Structure 1
Amino acid sequence: MESNLAQYRIFYAVAQEGNISRAAASLYISQPAISKSIQKLEESLGTPLFSRSSRGVRLTEEGALLFQHVKIAFDSLKAGEEQLRQMTELGIGHLRIGVSTTLCKYVLLPYLKKFIELYPHIRISIECQSTSHTLQLLQERRIDIGFIGRPSSMGNITFHSLGEIEDIFVASKSYMDNLSLSSSTADIFHAATLMLLDKENITRRYIDDYLKEHHIDPGNLLEISTMDLLIEFAKIGLGIACVIRQFVQEELDRGILHEIPLGFPIHAREIGLAFPSSSSQSQALKTFTDFFR
């Protein structure tokens, strides 16, 4: 495009007004400057754009063709400006969140309802996958923020803690009563069916390290894809499940599940918000992080 945007802006105004003096008044530009700009645009395009008369100016056939495209361009710019205004003044934006199924249900959802009520103009997309995948999407800038457990290596990820979670082992009373066990932790896990999340989950890696550190070798291992299924399988007496205390507190209080005592407690872990350190935050992301903090 050889001509500059200012020339097309003047062309657009003259075409709309059908009069150079009115276009000059609307743009706060002198009439000679308007005429000179139109002349330069016609010269650069090699064709007359207006026919002139004592009553004003009219678009030529070539001018009318150009006006169709220029109008689309300026309408698009106007729409873009309006969207930016809404983003800054009304909080309109798009937020892409990555979160595991477990943290989505037990951590994100309780907050999300209130957030949407307060900021209905922010569009939200949620991708549920493992923490490892969430970190990868953050690195690739395919999501804006992630709900994760604090990873051992942060890289260029900024992490804001939302608190701690504690892993425990639980089983139903009927399952424990049906086992003939000694009181040692090693004997319990060797005789029981131990139910853990699959190996793609960071929680599973954390528990594997715990079992290895304390020389606990499960006799029978059942891998489950989600925390919800772990909890449900434990409730119906399929085995001992490694779950997060905060997510089964009601079942513990009601006696539906019972905590397995451990000689060496599992250290609590942090969960929180993660986003790329080097990227600038959109208004929607700032609003969201401020709300959760």
Structure 2
Amino acid sequence: MNSNFEHYRIFYYVAKYENLTKAASAMHTSQPSVTRTIHNLEKNLGCRLFERSKTGMKLTPEGEVFYEYIAAGCSQFFKAESNLSDMLSLDNGTIYISATETALHCYLFQAMESFNARYPNVHFKILNNSTKKSIHIVKEGNVDFAVVSAPFHIEKPLKKQILREYHDILISGKRYSELKGKQLSINQLSKYPWISLTSEAITRKFLNQYFEKNGLKFEPDIELATTDMILPAVRHNLGIGFIPPEFAIDDLDSEEIFEIHVQETFPERNITLIYDTEYPQSIAAKEFLKFLSETTIL
């Protein structure tokens, strides 16, 4: 038997409306096409499914038995289509993002909050990864896009878009209070204990270059795996370190720590969006990308 789901769907609508014209209208097709499909289905099944009359289409006893199964099957298919449509829409969609911790704190959390105020039923699935891992995940098609905070190189079909710019600040705990309120050179500060990320981190390489540009070699006393661990280490007076300002707002306000003013400007950094131009985006993901392009997050 060569019947397929489209034949069964047409049979379902003809049986439901008991009229070829109404069934064709519901399916946005022509009546001759519906008539031809029913004829072929009856031929394939080897029995008549409808009794045709001037008043419409009535199911035969064989047609009634067949309809019980087809109606149950169509109900499940229609439900699946509806649920999938909701998942891909702004009513119940899910957006998958890979992001660095700096991108999350300096941009993405606030952007998600603003977007959810407009579309409260959209959900986010966030993977916290390094810039390198985030780019790889986008290439593999495992997320809709990535938001990262370190310099990187990409190739087509990947594209990038700068979402915002920011500067790291140098912070210290109370132990080094003699540094407070002064304008100091990086050379003067190099004598103090430093806290930084491990040598594998792209952000650490960025810091190495900053020191080299000023004729110094960067040799931190403490190396940590994640940026969010730098703040508590500084708070406990273990050294000084650069950190995005968003990480330190509360501690700066409470004066648990203070900002050190450095003469040599620390290079500007970017929060960057990465996406695959060949990857099909859901309605929710497309709307969030549009939102990020049109909205300023400070």
What TM-score results when the alignment is normalised by the length of structure 2? 0.76
Q: Which residue of 2 aligns with 1:238?
A: 238
Q: Which residue of 2 aligns with 1:58?
A: 60
1:48 paired with 2:47, answer yes
The CA distance in 2 between the partners of 1:251 and 1:13, in whole Å, is 66
The CA distance in 1 between the partners of 2:49 and 2:219, in whole Å, is 89
Deviation (angstroms), 1:280:
4.6
Q: Given the superposition, is the C-alpha separation of residues 264 and 12 from structure 1 closer, same or farther in structure 2, using an over 3 Å criterion?
A: same
1:211 paired with 2:207, answer no
Which whole-Å deviations, capped at 9, do the CAs of 1:22-57 have from their partners, x for residues lacking one? 2324325769974x6444223324x43648699943
Q: Which residue of 2 aligns with 1:173?
A: 174
Contact 1:168 1:245 in 2 (8 A): yes
Q: Given the superposition, is the C-alpha separation of residues 60 and 209 from structure 1 closer, same or farther in structure 2, using an over 3 Å criterion?
A: same
The CA distance in 2 between the partners of 1:174 and 1:104, in whole Å, is 30
- How do residues 138-153 of structure 1 correspond to structure 2 at under 5 angstroms? 138-149=138-149, 151-153=151-153
Q: Given the superposition, is the C-alpha separation of residues 289 and 220 from structure 1 closer, same or farther in structure 2, using an over 3 Å criterion?
A: closer
* SS of match in other structure, 1:238: coil
The CA distance in 1 between the partners of 2:143 and 2:210, in whole Å, is 31
Q: Which residue of 1 aligns with 2:20?
A: 24
Q: Given the superposition, is the C-alpha separation of residues 74 and 289 from structure 1 closer, same or farther in structure 2, using an over 3 Å criterion?
A: same
Deviation (angstroms), 1:91:
5.0
The CA distance in 2 between the partners of 1:44 and 1:256, in whole Å, is 81
Q: Given the superposition, is the C-alpha separation of residues 66 and 216 from structure 1 closer, same or farther in structure 2, using an over 3 Å criterion?
A: farther
Which whole-Å deviations, capped at 9, do the CAs of 1:124-156 have from their partners, x for residues lacking one? 211111121111111112111222126331323
Kindly, what percent of the aligned residue pairs are identical? 23
Structure 1 unpaired stretches of 5+ = none
The CA distance in 2 between the partners of 1:26 and 1:71, in whole Å, is 21
Which whole-Å deviations, capped at 9, do the CAs of 1:149-197 have from their partners, x for residues lacking one? 263313233223222111233212313559xxxx7634532x4321112
Structure 2 unpaired stretches of 5+ = 25-29
Contact 1:12 1:70 in 2 (8 A): yes
Q: Which residue of 2 aligns with 1:110?
A: 110
Q: Which amino acid aligns with 1:26?
A: K
The CA distance in 1 between the partners of 2:2 and 2:38, in whole Å, is 14
- How do residues 22-101 of structure 1 correspond to structure 2 at under 5 angstroms? 22-28=18-24, 34=35, 37-45=37-45, 47-48=46-47, 50=49, 56-60=58-62, 64=65, 68-69=69-70, 71-73=72-74, 75-77=76-78, 79-80=80-81, 84=85, 91-101=91-101
Which whole-Å deviations, capped at 9, do the CAs of 1:190-236 have from their partners, x for residues lacking one? x4321112344322221122223334234553111222220121122
The CA distance in 2 between the partners of 1:172 and 1:110, in whole Å, is 28
The CA distance in 2 between the partners of 1:138 and 1:289, in whole Å, is 15
Q: Which residue of 1 aligns with 2:267?
A: 267
Contact 1:102 1:226 in 2 (8 A): no
Q: Which amino acid aligns with 1:48?
A: C
The range that moved more, 222-231 or 206-215, is 206-215
Contact 1:138 1:275 in 2 (8 A): yes
The CA distance in 2 between the partners of 1:212 and 1:111, in whole Å, is 35
Deviation (angstroms), 1:87:
5.3
Q: Given the superposition, is the C-alpha separation of residues 80 and 15 from structure 1 closer, same or farther in structure 2, using an over 3 Å criterion?
A: same
What TM-score results when the alignment is normalised by the length of structure 1? 0.77
The CA distance in 2 between the partners of 1:242 and 1:40, in whole Å, is 74
The CA distance in 1 between the partners of 2:86 and 2:250, in whole Å, is 46
* SS of match in other structure, 2:19: helix
The CA distance in 2 between the partners of 1:234 and 1:217, in whole Å, is 21
Q: Which residue of 2 aligns with 1:164?
A: 165
Contact 2:196 2:220 in 1 (8 A): no
Q: Which amino acid aligns with 1:131?
A: T
Contact 1:194 1:239 in 2 (8 A): yes
Q: Given the superposition, is the C-alpha separation of residues 226 and 42 from structure 1 closer, same or farther in structure 2, using an over 3 Å criterion?
A: same
* SS of match in other structure, 2:60: strand
Q: Which residue of 1 aligns with 2:27?
A: none
CA RMSD of aligned residues (A): 3.7
